[in-house]
Chains A and B, each alone.
Chain A
């Protein structure tokens, strides 16, 4: 199954922000997070274990997510990540920063020659 576009590269911090967002809805295991990211972004961001797992590790280390082992729907053991209160706060802060920055960038990019 190939994607129509090339997968874009994400900056480190951005991936973590996205993972936090996904987890804000409900706790999930690693693969589930990857699938959700791919789905919501309509294939722009593809599952890449080499980036996801280090991101999980970093989030865990920073205390933004907590993990424990649970049984999946298929009866197998998987490590489920959930958001901690610090994680929630960080998500909120990062989302605000991101929105502010993107609005500013969009404004600059869309401005007409006269405004520049």
Chain B
């Protein structure tokens, strides 16, 4: 209990300082009195007794100080006084304070911003319970067992029966179910045409311990195909689309399909989830039960989602699961299985880049701290006297160190405040830049979990810790230096011993070299990423995106035959061509950037039974005849599609250059006959088309073959997903949107355009990540370089000041101005060159972390290294020029006179 006493007494002493002081005074006086009486009683004379008693007491102030230090509150008191003193001295030198605080603000702010991103995306657990125990099954399929005839890793579905087998047999899982995403629309509600819906097993709600706000969640009964269709609402959907109606449970809800045949679904609302419930992400608005089969009896499949039982590891679960899966899926003996956590899967593509950015921004902070340390050391020259006086009065070494640290921590705190403000603004900007359009048909190339990024309590705690560490880092050196001051010399006014000056200056020089190396590493990284992005953005994708507007159209497909749909597409493209400002219009089964891989049945070189069982590889492109014009894809040999290639004309086909190289050995295939699928009627290859990069600018073109849709008589539905329309405009494609909608409505009043986007937007979307990385690293590199240059300037200016006498002597002995200039510049050059060499070495060592982010450029690119080195040296010399000129302009008379 004594510590409670301690605290209370300390607080009491703080609060009533004066009373404590008075009492102590009185006690000391009483002490002296008692001492005098005691000595007098022992035979001393009164005068002698008084003197002896005073001597015995010693300095009352010292005693009072010793008593004060015995209480813990004195530490608090001292610190408060230190901070007040520090802020006064900062106010006296505003230039230093502003530069130091801004420098720290940049360093700490950048770190806070990037940490917000790292924390929100990588570190924060997903917003539902036990997200770290819920795994999803992934299959690694070799080409022979994959649907696209290409090795594939995906979360393919298991049938309801297989899922049930897993549930019963695998003990490593506490819950087993399935969860997949789908889209639905709310009819006649603006902005509710495409809402994210999750189809989940009843066990999924149990897995994450989900309790509804109103009504109930799913049970196993709801999974039975014959039970009435039900739906659960999210809190957001309930508020936004249904006005928070408390009587919503039990009402009927109609929703439209979004993909595939247009259907209207009816559900009964059975529950509403609370406001803080999310699964699997914030965009999911509704939950439907996973049905084990369709109403017609076809079994349904879904990806396996399971919760690990407590204490079970992923490896153990996989070991138990794999043999069962092999037994359940004998048709896929070569497929391997994997259990992955949703969070890790989600962020895996951007994890390396984020960690790299975190490292880069750490460099920036280091450079900033080094700069501030240099500034403090420079300032220390003028504080010798002050320190000497303090030591003479009796301050202990530790007291001085404490005071210097209080100053540095105050600077760090101010820098932290500025940095946090910068970071809050910066994070908002980053979130805007990082938000990309998400479309189901396009591979996701944006940033996941951007909505969970923000400057929250954890981030602020990180900032605080950064401030403290930074403050200690740059404050320790000046503190140790000062506490070792010789008071006698300092009081006499001697600036310092020569040795100490050069020793300190040596430290500053090494600090500058360190700064330069860090800045060079950042600069090399920034230049490499920028070059890589530039190469990516200017790669020729095989088409011209500028001027092209793309969109899709929905029709209630169920009511139209294939033939009618084809006629509609033709009719629409004719109407579009008639719109003023339109150069050409086309439609196809997919556009560049659309993530669809279809071989159309496969291409074969012959039709008889003797042909090899596996087809040649090319993917099919079903296009209208103007497709190549709209996209500006060149015909390299032979001809493109023409009017005459109609339904009854001889069947013709185009292939791309990659197909020629891969399957025809580079020889011209024009005139050759090929067969598609089981069809025995041949197609003649009449032209070769340039390669189009389908899946992204960084991926080489796959082999493709083109067929005019008029000639395609595939038995299946012609357009499995609504056809893509593309229109080339003479001017800005967005200006055509109004006329486009009119044309669509005119072609069919039931038709609705969607997924409208200029092609350039789709292309930009695909390079959003490299663009952001390049932008961020360039900003960091620029800050680092700027800070390093300020550091160089500062050190050179200091050198010149320190060596004014020496320069004066040199000049009076006959040195020319130019030689003095050269002297200073040479010194700066030496520092810079050493720093640059260290920096290039560092860049070489850390290059491999950059490899995965680069396109078209190597991490150890010689030209980049040389260019960076040359540029940095040039700019450094420029920064040193001003102090060098000042040195050259020194008047020897003045210099020799000043002490």
By a CB distance below 8 angstroms, the chain A residues around B28 are 49, 53
Knowing A61-B71, A79-B27 are in contact, say whether A31-B34 is a contact too (CB < 8 A). yes
Determine how close the nearest CB of chain A comes to the CB of B6; give it in whole angstroms: 5
State the CA gap A31–B49 with chains docked (Å). 14
B33 at the interface (CB under 8 A from A): yes
With a cutoff of 8 Å between Cβ atoms, the chain B residues found around residue A24 in the complex are none
A49 x B5 contact (CB < 8 A): no
List A15-33 residues whose CB lies under 8 Å from chain B: 29-32
A29 cross-chain contacts in B, Cβ below 8 A: 30-31, 34
Q: Does B5 lie within 8 Å of A62, measured CB to CB?
A: yes
How would residues 4 to 18 of chain A score, 1 for a CB under 8 Å from any chain B CB and 0 otherwise?
A: 000000000000000
- Chain B nearest CB: distance from A65 CB in Å? 12
Contact of B30 among A57, A58, A62, A78 (CB under 8 A): A78
Q: How far is the CA of A60 from the CA of B30 in the complex (A)?
A: 18
B58 at the interface (CB under 8 A from A): yes
Q: Is the CB of B31 within 8 A of A49?
A: yes
Interface string of A54-94 (1 = CB under 8 A from B): 11011011110000000010101111000000100000000
A113 proximal to B (CB < 8 A): no
Residue A35 interfacial (CB < 8 Å): yes
- Contact between B26 and A32 (Cβ–Cβ < 8 Å)? no
Does B31 contact A74, Cβ atoms closer than 8 Å? no
- Of B6, B33, B67, chain A has the most CB atoms within 10 Å of the CB of B67
Q: How large is the interface on B (under 10, 10 to 19, 20 to 34, 35 or more residues)?
A: 20 to 34
CA distance A41 to B532 in the complex (A): 85
- Chain A residues near B9: list those with CB within 8 A: 60-61
A79→B23 CA distance, assembly (Å): 9
Shortest distance from the beta carbon of B777 to any chain A beta carbon, whole Å? 56
Point out the residue from A32, A35, A78 that lies within 8 Å of B27, measured CB to CB.
Answer: A78
Across the interface, do A31 and B30 meet the contact criterion of CB distance under 8 Å?
yes
B344 within 8 A of A: no
The secondary-structure label for the interface of chain B is helix
* Contacts A61-B6, A77-B26; A54 near B38 (Cβ below 8 A): no
Contacts of B862 in A (CB 8 A): none
CA distance A77 to B70 in the complex (A): 24
Q: In the complex, which residues of chain B have a beta carbon less than 8 angstroms from the beta carbon of A62?
A: 2, 5-6
* Whole-angstrom distance between the Cβ of B642 and the nearest chain A Cβ: 101
- A76 lies within 8 A of B33 (CB): yes
Q: Mark B64-76, 1 if CB is under 8 A from A, else 0.
A: 0011011100000
A50 at the interface (CB under 8 A from B): yes
Contacts of A47 in B (CB 8 A): 35, 56
CA distance A49 to B28 in the complex (A): 9
- Decide if A1 touches B52 in the complex (CB within 8 Å): yes
| Chain A minimum-CB-distance residue to B38 | A35
Partner of A53, one of B2, B26, B34, B67: B67
Smallest CB separation, B77 vs chain A (Å) = 15
Kindly list chain A residues whose C-beta atoms are within 8 Å of the C-beta of B24: 53
Report if B62 contacts A (CB, 8 A).
Answer: yes
User: Smallest CB–CB gap between A16 and chain B, Å?
Assistant: 11
Contacts of B5 in A (CB 8 A): 61-63
Cβ contact within 8 Å between B67 and A57: yes
A-chain residues with CB within 8 Å of residue B67 when the two chains form the complex: 53-54, 57
**Complex interface: chain B residues within 8 A of A55 (CB):** 70
Q: How far is the CA of A63 from the CA of B69 in the complex (A)?
A: 18
Q: State whether A30 and B31 are in contact (beta carbons under 8 Å apart), knowing that A50-B62, A50-B63, A57-B71 are contacts in the complex.
A: yes
Q: How far is the CB of A32 from chain B (nearest CB, A)?
A: 7
- Among A32, A50, A61, A72, the most chain B Cβ lie within 10 Å of the Cβ of A61
Q: B486 in the interface, Cβ–Cβ < 8 Å? A: no
Contact indicator per residue, chain B 20-63, by CB within 8 Å of chain A (1) or not (0): 00011011101101110110000000000000100011100011
Residues in A whose Cβ lies below 8 Å from that of B31: 29-31, 49
List the interface of chain A (C-beta within 8 A of B). 1, 29-32, 35, 47-51, 53-55, 57-58, 60-63, 72, 74, 76-79, 86
What are 23 sample pairs from A and B whose C-beta atoms fall under 8 A apart?
Answer: A29-B30, A30-B30, A30-B34, A31-B35, A32-B34, A47-B56, A49-B31, A53-B24, A53-B63, A53-B66, A53-B67, A54-B66, A54-B67, A54-B70, A57-B71, A58-B70, A60-B9, A61-B2, A61-B9, A61-B10, A72-B30, A78-B34, A86-B2
* New A-B pairs, 11, CB < 8 Å, besides A53-B27, A53-B67: A29-B34, A31-B30, A32-B34, A48-B58, A49-B28, A49-B31, A49-B56, A54-B69, A57-B67, A76-B33, A77-B26
Please name the 6 residue pairs, one residue from A and one from B, whose CB atoms are nearest each other, closest first. Answer: A31-B34, A54-B70, A78-B30, A57-B70, A63-B5, A62-B2
